[in-house]
Each structure stands twice: as C-alpha cells, then as structure tokens.
Structure 1
Amino acid sequence: MMLTFFNFRRAVLLLLFFLFYQALSFGQTNRLLFKTSFGDVKVVLYDFTPNHRELILTAIKDGTYASSFFNRIISGFLVQGGEHDIDIEKRESADPLQSKPRLAPEFDQRAFHKVGALGAGRDDNPDKASFLNQLYFVVGKPVSAVDLDSLEVKKGIKYTASQRAHYLKSGGQPRLDGDYTVFGEVYEGLDVLLKISKVKTDSLDYPIVPIQFTLTVLE
C-alpha cells in the first residue's frame, strides 16, 4: 500500500512538472543553447516578439555568434554578450554613411525583466530600438512592493498580478521594463548564468578571464 501511494505521488509530481514546463513553453517554437565553460544554458524564444526572434535566428545561421563572448558582467544586474557598445560605436563612427541600423522594440506584458530573462541591448536612442547583435541576461536583485509601486508612478505603467508575484518572489530588474525588449528566457541552466554573473571583472565590467560562448539552435 505504501509503495503504491509513493508511486502515485511521484507520478503526480512528474505530471505537475510536465504541465508547468508545457505552460512555460506553450506556443513557443524555438529554443537556443548557450554553451560555455561554466556549463550549458538553454533558452526559449518568445513567439510574441517575432522580429527579435527572427533576428537572432538569422544571426546564428549567418555565423554572427560563431565566436562570441560575455563582455559586460555586473553582479546583481546582467550578463551581456555579443557586440560590445564600444565596438558598435567605433564601427558606426567609422561608417561614412553614419548609418545606425536598429530593430524597433517589441514590448509585451508577458515579456518582462525577471531573473533569467533574455533581452536585446541598445543605446540611448529615443525610439528604444535594439542593437542587432547584442544580448543580455537578467540576473537581477530582490524587488519590493514599494519598488514596483514607485516604478509604476515613474514610468506610467501598471504591473500585472503575475508580474508582481514573480518579481516579489524571485527578483529581477523591473526598472528596465518598457525600455528594453525581452524576447526569451532561460528554462534550464540558470545556475550556470548566476555563476557567470559572479566572476571577477575590471573597472569597465569586462571579465578578467574571457568567457566565450557558442550559440546554436536546439531542434
């Protein structure tokens, strides 16, 4: 009888985990693998931010991320990779046409800056448009109800009950919401990402020991 009950309970727990994962990835088509010396990080891309999803999928196919690095790391804030702000500025300054290609933002209440969120970096352009080849992960910090109340007033936004619950339980970077596009999230390997976020860096937030990653699409 005890063995039967144990098996039943185990089956229920497995079913709940499966349903939770299905709910997380429902309707989401594409997944990515970030392979690092610290371990693997797996990400699901949001179908409701289609332009950013297609941008990174095309970049991977074209080899843009064939040899990339996490080149800006701030503990409690983010882990950023791809093309660095400084390199983008140098490249664009040297362009005789002075072109600054950007991707228009895609804001959606389902996509917010919780811990493990995957976002697109940008400069201070007024359109809040994203760089084409820069990404970041949120590692975040604790968030209080007072923080969220203050941000709602300051930014003129309203957090949903689900967003509030997530921020209050797990933290994040809600001050970035509505300013930077989030287009995916980590579903496996968050511990790897948090380890990376704690490496030693120099005064410009570059990691002392370079951290390379390879980025591929999971079938």
Structure 2
Amino acid sequence: MKHFKFFFIFILLLFFLFPKYQANCQTPAHTLLISTSLGDIKIALYEESPLHTENFLNLVKDGYFNGQLFHRVINDFMIQAGDPSSRDAKPGEIIGLGSPGYTIPAEFHPSLYHKKGAVGAARQGDDINPQRASSGSQFYIVQGTLFTDNQLDIMEQRNLHIRFTQEQRNVYKTIGGTPHLDYGYTVFGEVISGLDVVDRIAAVSTDSNNRPLKDIRIKIQVID
C-alpha cells in the first residue's frame, strides 16, 4: 500500500511539473545555414511552431531565398529578409511588399520569445491583420537591446498577453532582445552560431527606408 501511495504521489508530481518543464523547452527540428556576404549564420527551427517550420523548410528546399537581400536593417532592433522582389531590386528601390501570396496562422508558444538571435516571421500590422497571421516568406532575426526590470514591468502593464518568466527577464536584461514583440509576432527558431554576423549586418549604413546601401545577399541551405 505504501508503494502504491508513493507511486501515486510520483505521478502527480510529474503531472504538475511537466507543463512547467515544457514551457521552458525548445525542441530543435532542423538546422539551417544562412550564407551572406558578411558571414554565415546558423539557425535552428523548432517543433513548437510546426506550420512556420515546415513552410520555411519547403521554401529553402525550393531555393526560394537564394539571391534575395536583407532588405530591412535597423540597428539595435532586427535584420529582415524574405522578399522575393529584392532579388532583382535596383539600388534605392523600395523593397518589402513581396511574398509567395499566402500567410501562415500565428503560432505563439511560451518558450519561444524575442531574445537576441530569435528568428521570427514578419507580418502586416494589426489594423489590417488582427489575427496576426505571418508573411509566407519574410522573416527577421532579432538583434535587440538590453532592458531593465522596470521597462519589462511597464510592458506587462500595457499588454495583458505578456507575462515574462524570471528566465526571460534575465535573458532580456543580460543578453537583450525585443520583448515588446512577444505574442505579437511568431518566433519559430533562433541563431545557434553567428550572432556576430547579425551584429555586423545590423550595423551597416542604410537609406531612409532602412535598406542597406550595399546589397547583402543570402543563400539558405538545410544542414540537418
């Protein structure tokens, strides 16, 4: 009888503890290499965002991104690519409206947040896209900046959907990111090597539309 009680208590502990573990778990599904004229960035895509991961993989396998540009770069914020029209864009041409012609439903997960190096899906604004559906191809990599507890508290007060865990607070205070994008834009992966390249790209000179003055072309391939 004592053994049964012990087993029952053990099962209950697993039941209550597992969701907490799961909330902080990020499961790598695939590893990809983004080659650029300023260096290589290795990213991992995650199982917690299956629609975005599968879509991105299919586009990569089709060579969709090859020859495209990082067309939008904002220092201390993010670098963005995935517009098919950027491939043949002339110098100074405004880029950023291209897509494969479809969107992807938002996939928000508590363990995937906008820390530095997060890979997220760009989208149209809430005014015309209240469902926060993602672009079918445009993505960004977070550079971000550091935040204080007070700044994070204010974000929680202004957005009821945002509740930072202590782990997330520590990351935003020591590594940085863009916490105001959490639960607004889908995160589906992160940089596992090449954050220095992200910083290098984010620091380039840009025009008034945040397009780099010198083209930064990309090629993406699946590693595993």
- If the TM-score is normalised by the length of the shorter chain, which range does it land in? 0.7 to 0.9
Deviating 4+ runs (over 4 angstroms): 84-92
Q: Distance in 1 between the 2:114 and 2:98 partners? A: 29
Q: Does the residue aligned with 1:30 lie in a helix, a strand or coil?
A: strand
- Partner amino acid, structure 2, of 1:191: D
Superposed, which structure 2 residues align to 1:112-127 within 5 Å? 112-124=113-125, 125-127=129-131
- Partner amino acid, structure 1, of 2:203: K
Q: 1:89 to 1:81 in 2, by over 3 A?
A: closer
Structure 2 unmatched ranges of 5 or more: 1-23, 87-93
In the TM superposition, residue 25 of structure 1 has moved relative to its aligned partner by 9.2
- The Cα offsets for residues 149-191 of structure 1, whole Å up to 9 and x where unpaired, read as 0111111121111111111111110000010001000010100
In the TM superposition, residue 27 of structure 1 has moved relative to its aligned partner by 3.5
Q: Distance in 2 between the 1:179 and 1:126 partners? A: 10
- Partner amino acid, structure 1, of 2:46: Y
Q: Distance in 2 between the 1:32 and 1:54 partners? A: 13
Q: 1:25 to 1:167 in 2, by over 3 A?
A: same
- Partner amino acid, structure 2, of 1:147: Q
Superposed, which structure 2 residues align to 1:52-201 within 5 Å? 52-83=52-83, 89=97, 101-124=102-125, 125-156=129-160, 157-201=162-206
Q: Distance in 2 between the 1:27 and 1:82 partners? A: 24
Number of aligned residue pairs: 189
- Partner amino acid, structure 2, of 1:123: Q
Q: Distance in 2 between the 1:170 and 1:68 partners? A: 29
Confirm or deny: 8 A CA contact 1:25 1:44 kept in the other structure.
no
Q: 1:217 to 1:162 in 2, by over 3 A?
A: same
Q: Distance in 1 between the 2:109 and 2:39 partners? A: 30
